[in-house]
Amino acid sequence: MSGNMAEKAAQNFVEAYEAARTALPGADGWLARRRAAAIESFAGAGLPHRRLEEWKYTDLRQTLDKAGFASAPEHMGAVVLPEAAAASAFSTLDRYVLVFVNGRFRADLSKAARLPKGVELHGLADVLTEQWAKDLIERRFDEARQAEEIVDLNTALMNDGMCLRIRKGVKLDKPVHLLFLAADGGASHTRNLILLEEEAEGTVLESHIGEAASFADIVTDVALGDGAKLDHVKLQDESADAVHLATLRGEIGAGARLSSFTLTLGCGVSRGQSFIRFAGEGAEAHVNGAYALRAKQHADQFCVVDHAVPRCASNTVFKGVLDGQSEGVFQGKVIVRPDAQKTDGRQMTQALLLSRDAAMNAKPELEIYADDVQCAHGSTVGELSKDALFYLRSRGIPEAEARRLLVLAFLDDVITLAPHEEVRDILRGLVSGWFEEAST
Amino acid sequence: MAAVRETVETVGEVEKYKYGFFTDIESEKAPLGLTEDTVRFISAKKNEPAWLLEWRLAAFRRWLTMTEPTWAKVSYPPIDFQDAYYYSAPKQQAKLDSLDQVDPKLLETYEKLGIPLTEQKMLAGVAVDAVFDSVSVVTTFKEKLAEAGVIFCPMSEAVAKHPELVKKYLGSVVPTSDNFYATLNSAVFSEGSFVYIPEGVRCPMELSTYFRINEKQTGQFERTLIIAEKGSYVSYLEGCTAPQRDENQLHAAVVELVALDDAEIKYSTVQNWFPGDEEGKGGVYNFVTKRGDCRGANSKISWTQVETGSAITWKYPSCILRGDNSRGEFYSIAISNGRQQVDSGTKMIHLGRNTTSRIISKGISAGKSSNTYRGLVSVHRKAENVRNFTQCDSLLIGSKCSAHTVPYVETKNPSAVLEHEATTSKISDDQLFYCMQRGIGEEEAVALIVNGFCRDVLQQLPMEFAVEAQKLVGISLEGSVG
């Protein structure tokens, strides 16, 4: 632990840990040791910075040093949702709602009664004595994985989160919606645990909203048993002063299927990381996303799919529209381990630059150690096609409308990959609203 | 598919390095190790002016502060830079007027390498500046080139005869502080070619240099500088082989290209340094910095490489597209077999308006080798209407090899249109079946498919090299290709 000025933010987190240590969930059990080990390893490494290959385009250290977040306070009273369309995005769906304010679960605002038999839904503190939760949390300590070091920060400081367990063969009747609201400024550390046992099915929706200068550090650990199916949609629209760091780690059993989609609209600096690992043959993972940025927003999408076993398929598509002085990043990697024959791994990143000052950095990587595989990746960057614009205008469509059509069509390509028709419609509405705002 | 599996297994045995002889000639070396004195020794040996010695020493002092890069996907035991000779020259060194005076043993060596100097003079129309370890032995076709005003000579001669050109351009593309190996090269470089094409001249023949590391435990640090003045054109060929040895040899070259307005440089390499034996013992460490600067408007630089040798390849021929409308091209075939490790690719830095670039990379891994494409396409804020197309395909032969693709794309200008695509696969059973049901044997079919896979790049090679390259592709995959 150095007293270095440049490490100010890391130092703050270490101090926050010392201050909160005894009050954090699981302070009297096995987790206390894990937290101690995690904070030590975090203090040693510090916050990630540009000189680390995985963080080449996003300097979290600099961002957090500049912002200087303290811990977010607990918010007790009533809350007002921001006016942004994203705040009420999933409200038309029939769903279970879990509300987290400043990173803490608020039972009084939530609505998750009468869950089907075989579905367990708890706050983090309530499941720490259960073996399955311990297994998920301790995974980080089994083997160090690349770019996951930052998860140590979350392990040390995680305060709350949603823990969902669906028993063997049970199908969740309606989506679980997690609404994370940053009502006040400050840092919050959330850990969600999702376990779907064999042949279980479920849908989890997440929305992250707020108008405060907040730092949201969210880790979602997912384990899918053989033949399980999880649909996961995450929507993020926070304030321009907010920093968002979300890590999704998934372990997928034989014949299971994970379908994940992220729409990023808000936030000053956001980083969405996904680490997917196939544990059984014949599994499938879809990790897709769209982002629409403007002003000085910076969004980094980082995705590693590890084909550790044969006969799995993965597909990653990220598409983004960049306006203003915004900057988009895509870093992806498909790893095919020795013996992971018959792998089908695909990766695509496309970005549309709408302004002179926008920038895009992409790095789709393949790392392949088996020969009988089909792997491909693609990457394109460009502006709106002049030919396409001309075509539409020659048919009497005004330029503004033509631009709108082309931008929305560009994003629609990937929104189509999101699970559930109603969800897709909601996402389309949000993107369209974003464009209206951008052009006025 | 049984036959394929079998042949894959025998690949290592069949591929015997046919250039693995070494010539026993007395040579003169610098003392073992690297100190300021070594740098002074080299500089003194070459009768260099004071400014160049200073330049070398500055690089050397800089090098002492640098650490070896570790980001490439290659692994090797640490290199002891003090356990190598940084200068080696064949002893007999009298002035030579004609080929007849050259030590017949040297000529024999070249004969084995397949560059018959004596015949070439009459036949091929290829001027060869042959580099034997560190001293250029003989340069043919000088007169004919002189007529056109082309300067084509060893670097040391250029330093003596054209110091103004060398001073102006040396280190202007790859600065002495560029990277660990380039800085090392700047301190101890001992030979290389210098090419100057005057304004408006189309070089009357293909220029070619054959580099060869002969002496045991010596590194080869050549430095090549090519300057194409306004409206000129030159095509330069470079071929590399090294003798077979148990210990590893270090090769850290620097190549700088400068293309002024409307000039075009085509640089082709066939690299076949000793790759080590089947167990990965010995072989050349090839750490090369190659960069071209399209300094003038409408200039063009094209890199073509066929990489079949070296235990480790660390090489990224790049283009800085500074001049408006300039164009950079990179065509590469990288074949790795046995325990070879290749980390190669290119950088296209778009600074000027309307600049275009094209990258075609074909990686073929066999045996237990590892083959990585690592490339960067970067578009500067002021570079309008940039166009890039990148395609990198990998072919895996056998289940113990690996192929990796690491492309970086960085854009700061919306008018840029950048496309990158990459695929990795093995030879498909369908393709094989199609060929075989038409009566083509399995081995031949594999050869056919691999040839087709490489065709885009092979086509870019000048005639003289295309034949050799095709042969090399065959040899490198012998057993699995047929």
| pLDDT the model gives residue B446 | 78
Beta-carbon separation of A353 and B414 below 8 A:
yes
Q: Are A168 and A34 in contact (CB under 8 A)?
A: no
Q: What percent of chain B has pLDDT over 90?
A: 36
CB neighbour burial string for B178-202, b if at least 16 within 10 angstroms, e if fewer: bbbbbbbbbbbbbbbbbbbbbeebe
Q: What are the residues whose beta carbons fall under 8 Å from the beta carbon of B414, sequence distance 6 or more?
A: A353, A354, A355, A356, A358, A382, A383
Q: Is B209 exposed, middle or buried (0-12, 13-18, 19+ CB in 10 A)?
A: buried
Residue where one domain finishes, among candidates B295, B315, B335? B315
CA distance A20 to B184: 52
| pLDDT the model gives residue B144 | 75
HEC letters along B123-187: CCCEEEEEEECCEEEEECCHHHHHHHCCEEEEHHHHHHHCHHHHHHHCCCCCCCCCCHHHHHHHH
Candidates B424, B429, B446, partner chain A, best to mutate (most A CBs within 10 A): B424
Does residue A272 sit in helix, strand or coil?
strand
| pLDDT the model gives residue B240 | 66
Confidence of residue A2 (pLDDT cuts 50, 70, 90): very low
Confidence of residue B106 (pLDDT cuts 50, 70, 90): low
Beta-carbon separation of B414 and A378 below 8 A:
no
Beta-carbon separation of B426 and A354 below 8 A:
no
Q: What is chain A's mean pLDDT, rounded?
A: 91
More confident: B478 or A342: A342
Highest mean pLDDT (candidates A71-75, B206-210, B240-244):
A71-75
Query: A336 to chain B: nearest residue by CA?
Result: B402
Residue B475 has pLDDT above 70, yes or no: no
**Closest partner CB to B422 (pick from A356, A366, A369):** A366
Residue B438: CB atoms within 10 Å: 8
Q: Which DSSP string corresponds to A2-27?
A: ---GGGHHHHHHHHHHHHHGGGSTTT
| pLDDT the model gives residue B9 | 43
Provide the whole-model pTM: 0.84
Tell me the chain B residues in contact with residue A381 when contact means C-beta distances shorter than 8 Å: 409, 411, 416-418
Confidence of residue B458 (pLDDT cuts 50, 70, 90): confident
Query: A379 to chain B: nearest residue by CA?
Result: B420
Residue A439 has pLDDT above 90, yes or no: no
HEC letters along A294-351: CCCCEEEEEEEEEECCCCCEEEEEEEEEECCCCEEEEEEEEEECCCCCCCEEEEEEEE
Structure tokens at B390: 């990148």
Name the DSSP letter for residue A238: -
Query: B72 to chain A: nearest residue by CA?
Result: A53
CA distance A272 to A274: 7
Tell me the chain A residues in contact with residue B74 when contact means C-beta distances shorter than 8 Å: none
Highest mean pLDDT (candidates A125-129, A294-298, B173-177):
A294-298
Tell me the chain A residues in contact with residue B425 when contact means C-beta distances shorter than 8 Å: 373-375
Tell me the chain B residues in contact with residue A365 when contact means C-beta distances shorter than 8 Å: 404-407
Q: How many domains does chain B contain in total?
A: 2
Beta-carbon separation of A383 and B415 below 8 A:
yes
| pLDDT the model gives residue B3 | 42
- Does the residue B83 lie in any domain? yes
Q: What percent of chain B has pLDDT over 70?
A: 76
Domain range summary for chain A, segments of one domain joined by +: 5-383
In the numeric block, the tokens 């020795």 are attached to A338
Residue B118 has pLDDT above 50, yes or no: no
Q: pLDDT digit string (tens) for B296-310?
A: 999 999 999 888 888
**Closest partner CB to B405 (pick from A356, A365, A374):** A365
Residue where one domain finishes, among candidates B248, B280, B315? B315
Beta-carbon separation of A379 and B417 below 8 A:
no
**Closest partner CB to A371 (pick from B409, B419, B426):** B426
Beta-carbon separation of B408 and A364 below 8 A:
no
| pLDDT the model gives residue B92 | 46
Beta-carbon separation of B423 and A380 below 8 A:
no
Q: pLDDT digit string (tens) for B314-325?
A: 999 999 999 999
Query: B384 to chain A: nearest residue by CA?
Result: A356
Q: Are A283 and A255 in contact (CB under 8 A)?
A: yes
Q: Are strands A96-101 and A104-105 parallel, antiparallel or unpaired?
A: antiparallel
Query: A378 to chain B: nearest residue by CA?
Result: B421
Q: pLDDT digit string (tens) for B423-449?
A: 888 888 888 899 999 998 877 787 778
Beta-carbon separation of A378 and B421 below 8 A:
yes
| pLDDT the model gives residue A298 | 96
- Does the residue B40 lie in any domain? yes
| pLDDT the model gives residue A431 | 94
| pLDDT the model gives residue B12 | 39
Structure tokens at A33: 């040791």
| pLDDT the model gives residue B277 | 74
B419 near A CB under 8 A: yes
Q: Judged by CB atoms within 8 Å, which residues 283-302 of B form the interface with A?
A: none
Average the pLDDT over B325-345 and give the result: 91
**Closest partner CB to A382 (pick from B71, B397, B417):** B417
Residue B5 has pLDDT above 70, yes or no: no
- Does the residue B348 lie in any domain? no
Tell me the chain A residues in contact with residue B401 when contact means C-beta distances shorter than 8 Å: 371
| pLDDT the model gives residue B6 | 42
- Does the residue B440 lie in any domain? yes
Q: Integer distance in angstroms from the first to the last C-alpha of chain B?
A: 15
CA distance B473 to B466: 10
Confidence of residue B378 (pLDDT cuts 50, 70, 90): very high
Residue B95 has pLDDT above 50, yes or no: no
Give ipTM to 2 decimals: 0.81
Q: Is B24 exposed, middle or buried (0-12, 13-18, 19+ CB in 10 A)?
A: exposed
Q: Judged by CB atoms within 8 Å, which residues 378-407 of B form the interface with A?
A: 394, 396-407
Q: Judged by CB atoms within 8 Å, which residues 45-84 of A form the interface with B?
A: 53
- Same domain as B10, residue B141: yes
Name the DSSP letter for residue B413: -
| pLDDT the model gives residue A199 | 97
Tell me the chain A residues in contact with residue B71 when contact means C-beta distances shorter than 8 Å: 53
Beta-carbon separation of A382 and B416 below 8 A:
yes
Beta-carbon separation of B396 and A382 below 8 A:
no
CA distance A253 to A224: 6
Query: A349 to chain B: nearest residue by CA?
Result: B420
Tell me the chain A residues in contact with residue B424 when contact means C-beta distances shorter than 8 Å: 366, 368, 373-376
Q: Are B392 and B404 in contact (CB under 8 A)?
A: no
> CA nearest B168: which of B272, B293, B298, B80?
B293
Q: Are A210 and A236 in contact (CB under 8 A)?
A: no
Domain that residue B450 falls in: 427-482
CA distance A410 to A408: 5
> CA nearest B110: which of B124, B89, B91, B129?
B129
Confidence of residue B74 (pLDDT cuts 50, 70, 90): confident
Q: Looking at this protein, which amino acid is placed at residue B460?
A: Q
CA distance B65 to A155: 39
A401 near B CB under 8 A: no
Q: What are the residues whose beta carbons fall under 8 Å from the beta carbon of A312, sequence distance 6 or more?
A: A252, A278, A281, A282, A283, A284, A285, A340, A343, A344
| pLDDT the model gives residue B132 | 58
Residue B456 has pLDDT above 80, yes or no: yes
Beta-carbon separation of B399 and A361 below 8 A:
no
Calculate the alpha carbon distances from A276 to A113, B130, B456 in Å: 31, 54, 36
Q: pLDDT digit string (tens) for A139-178?
A: 755 555 556 789 999 999 999 999 999 999 999 999 999 9
Residue A188 C-alpha from the chain's centroid: 15
Beta-carbon separation of B422 and A378 below 8 A:
yes
CA B388 to chain A, closest CA, distance in angstroms equals 10
Backbone angles phi, psi at B240, to 5 degrees: -135, 135
Beta-carbon separation of B411 and A361 below 8 A:
yes
| pLDDT the model gives residue B93 | 43
Q: Which DSSP string corresponds to A40-57?
A: HHHHHH-S--TTSGGGTT
Residue B119 has pLDDT above 50, yes or no: no
- Does the residue B351 lie in any domain? no
Average the pLDDT over A56-82 and give the result: 88
Beta-carbon separation of B425 and A373 below 8 A:
yes
Tell me the chain A residues in contact with residue B420 when contact means C-beta distances shorter than 8 Å: 362, 364, 377-380
Query: A341 to chain B: nearest residue by CA?
Result: B399
| pLDDT the model gives residue B112 | 59
Confidence of residue B57 (pLDDT cuts 50, 70, 90): very high
Q: pLDDT digit string (tens) for B202-215?
A: 988 888 776 555 55
Query: Which range among B28-42, B211-225, B242-256, B459-473 shows the weakest confidence by mean pLDDT?
Result: B211-225
In the numeric block, the tokens 């990043």 are attached to A329
